[in-house]
Amino acid sequence: MLKYKYKPELSKKAFWDVAFRDLDYEKNAEYIISRVFDYGTLDDIGELLVCYGDKNVKNVLINTRYLDGFGREMANYIFKLKSMDLKCCNTKPFHLPL
């Protein structure tokens, strides 16, 4: 999925709960992209777009199961999407019966 053999320089802000140095940018691409859009900085998002390419990042964001409010707004703004274009906005939340 990597567009180039380029390892992005991401801040650790989005990855406080994982071993950052152990992330595989090829195998964990979907996880990395969704986490950066949820919790990363604007510089991190720019690094992803260079590393993975616009088309791959957009495809991951459209098909991801969860994006928080900031992640959805950034995806909508950058890729000129509507909320209903995102799979995470079209699925019903799971609720346990009381």
One-character DSSP codes across 26-86: TTTHHHHHHHHHHH--HHHHHHHHHHH-HHHHHHHHHH-S---HHHHHHHHHHHT--GGGS
Give domain status of residue 46, yes or no: yes
The percent of residues above 70 in pLDDT, for the chain, comes to 88
Whole domain around residue 80: which residue ranges? 27-89
In the chain, the number of structural domains is 1
Look up the pTM and report it: 0.84
Give domain status of residue 95, yes or no: no
> In angstroms, rounded to a whole number, what is the distance separating the alpha carbons of residues 85 and 28?
23
**Mean pLDDT over residues 32-47, rounded?**
94
Please write the tens of the pLDDT for every residue from 61-88: 999 988 888 889 999 999 999 888 888 8
Give domain status of residue 31, yes or no: yes
Give domain status of residue 5, yes or no: no
Average predicted confidence (pLDDT) for the chain: 87
Give domain status of residue 2, yes or no: no
Give domain status of residue 8, yes or no: no
> In angstroms, rounded to a whole number, what is the distance separating the alpha carbons of residues 18 and 98?
33
